[in-house]
Amino acid sequence: MTNTSAGPPLAGLVVVDLSQFLSGPYCSLRLSDLGARVIKIERPDGGDLCRSLYLSDTEIGGDSTIFHAINRGKESLAINLKDPDEMSVLRRLLENADVLIQNFRPGVATRLGIDYEAARQINKRLVYASISGFGQTGPWVKRPGQDLLAQARSGVMWLNGDESHGPVPFGLAIADMFAGAAAAQGILAALVRRGITGEGGHVETSLLEALVDFQFEVLTTFLNDGRRLPSRSNFRSAHAYLSAPYGVYPAADGFLAIAMTPIPKLADLLELEELDAYRDDPKTWFAERDAIKAIIARRIAERRIDEWLAILEPADIWCAKVMNWNDLLESEGFQVLDMLQTVEREDDVSILTTRSPIRVDGKRNQVTGAAPRIGEHSAAIRAEFGL
């Protein structure tokens, strides 16, 4: 039986977010979407540096669109972390907090006097989350914990693209987002334990660790296969360890993705006698994948995507049109998910953005507030907590 009367699962929890840019704020966004109250600590003079990190020349209410996307529904408390009096304000706030998130470079939190041990002395029930670039020890500790650099060191960039193309970075900040998601998982687990023991804990992750975990499937194959580096396909590559036809093919009016499919079945549907030589030996589907995919590509290019889908989908072939964002938004499959929302602010800022990907008891938590102005809630928060 679905519980439709309960509120969001994290309602009543107070999260103090000292992080900036993407990894930490993505973590607190997930907690906010589950009902937590997120108080974002920002420098009075400029706030989160992400406010001026522009993905394009679009600015809304004086801030970048990426800042709005990642900080919707949060409150902003302006505190100068270099001012001892202001730091005492933060410490008093932590007495009332459930979670603290920080993504300072290793050593900075200790210099500021808000490392885990110091925070634990303030509030033993506090769940403290640290996100770094490359961990807390080792030769990379002082290197910039930036997404592209983490992709470069992790292997994911090397793994992408055709064999002859060289490294291909993801078109998204995957290290930041996966690290934020991992931190959120750790926080939720620590909160469950706190409900049993009464004590908080220290959750740690890094961009590199998140990307290593992201590759657990292929890394496990590599580690147990004599550490042989895989050879990526040199034609329409989509996965280093999967055989033909796995890949993306240009059709007459766009691109068609075809996943795992037996070559004989696909040969019959595409009416490709050229594939007869590969019917009886599945080992060739990997060993000769470039040649096989080249044959398939020539055939797919002859017709439009909807023509191929009309043939392949009824036969239960795993395939899909490659959509751009306009295609996605116009599709019924996207529209039924109800994944967009408008968030607003009193200074006439209105943002159309995404919603939480998580439904609890059949409902997504609704967030109506846009990302805050720097220190927008300072006075109210100070009064509420006696700061």
Residues 176 and 194: their CA atoms lie apart, in Å, by 27
Does 358 lie in the same domain as 315? no
Nearest CA among 81, 76, 43, 46 for reference residue 64 = 46
Does 260 lie in the same domain as 307? yes
Does 260 lie in the same domain as 179? no
- 2: in domain: no
Quick check: 161 and 150 in contact, CB under 8 A? no
How many other β-carbons are positioned within 10 Å of the β-carbon of residue 373?
19
- 188: in domain: yes
DSSP 191-213: HHHHHHHS--EEEEEEHHHHHHH
Does 277 lie in the same domain as 141? no
Pairing assessment for the beta strands 254-258 and 127-132 based on DSSP bridges? unpaired
Average pLDDT rounded to a whole number, residues 322-326:
96
pLDDT of 2 > 70? The answer is no
Does 350 lie in the same domain as 292? no
Does 261 lie in the same domain as 205? no
Quick check: 303 and 319 in contact, CB under 8 A? no
C-alpha 101: how far from its chain's center? 17
- 235: in domain: no
Q: What is the pLDDT of residue 5?
A: 59
- 227: in domain: no
- 329: in domain: no
Measured on CA atoms in the order 108, 112, 114, 116, is the torsion positive or negative? positive
CA distances from residue 110 to 61, 104, 115, 117, 329 in whole angstroms, order as listed: 34, 10, 5, 9, 46
Q: What is the pLDDT of residue 1?
A: 47
Percent of the chain with pLDDT over 70: 99
Does 340 lie in the same domain as 258? no
DSSP code of 364?
Answer: P
Summarised one tens digit per residue, pLDDT across range 102-130 is 999 999 999 999 999 999 999 999 999 99
Summarised one tens digit per residue, pLDDT across range 344-371 is 999 999 999 999 999 999 999 888 999 9
Told to judge if 176 belongs to the known catalytic residues of this protein, a careful annotator would answer yes
- 263: in domain: yes
Pairing assessment for the beta strands 99-102 and 127-132 based on DSSP bridges? parallel
Does 203 lie in the same domain as 157? yes
Show the DSSP H helices in the chain as ranges.
Answer: 23-33, 65-71, 84-94, 108-112, 116-122, 147-154, 156-159, 174-197, 207-214, 216-223, 263-270, 283-287, 289-300, 305-312, 325-330, 332-335, 378-385
- 300: in domain: yes
Does 315 lie in the same domain as 347? no
The parent domain of residue 137 ranges over: 14-214+336-385
Summarised one tens digit per residue, pLDDT across range 47-81 is 999 998 877 777 888 899 999 999 999 999 999 99
How many other β-carbons are positioned within 10 Å of the β-carbon of residue 216?
9
Does 188 lie in the same domain as 254? no
Does 197 lie in the same domain as 71? yes
Split into its structural domains, the chain has a count of 2
DSSP 42-57: E-TTT-SGGGG--SSS
Percent of the chain with pLDDT over 90: 88
Residues 165 and 231: their CA atoms lie apart, in Å, by 12
Largest Cα separation within the chain, whole Å, is: 79
Q: Which of 274, 297, 322 is the last residue of a domain?
A: 322
- 9: in domain: no
Average pLDDT rounded to a whole number, residues 292-317:
97
Q: Which of 271, 294, 322 is the last residue of a domain?
A: 322
> The CATH number of the domain where 259 resides is what?
3.30.1540
Distance between terminal CA atoms of the chain? 44
Average pLDDT rounded to a whole number, residues 165-176:
93
Which of 57, 85, 176, 281 is the catalytic position? Answer: 176
Does 302 lie in the same domain as 165? no
**Summary mean pLDDT of the chain:** 94
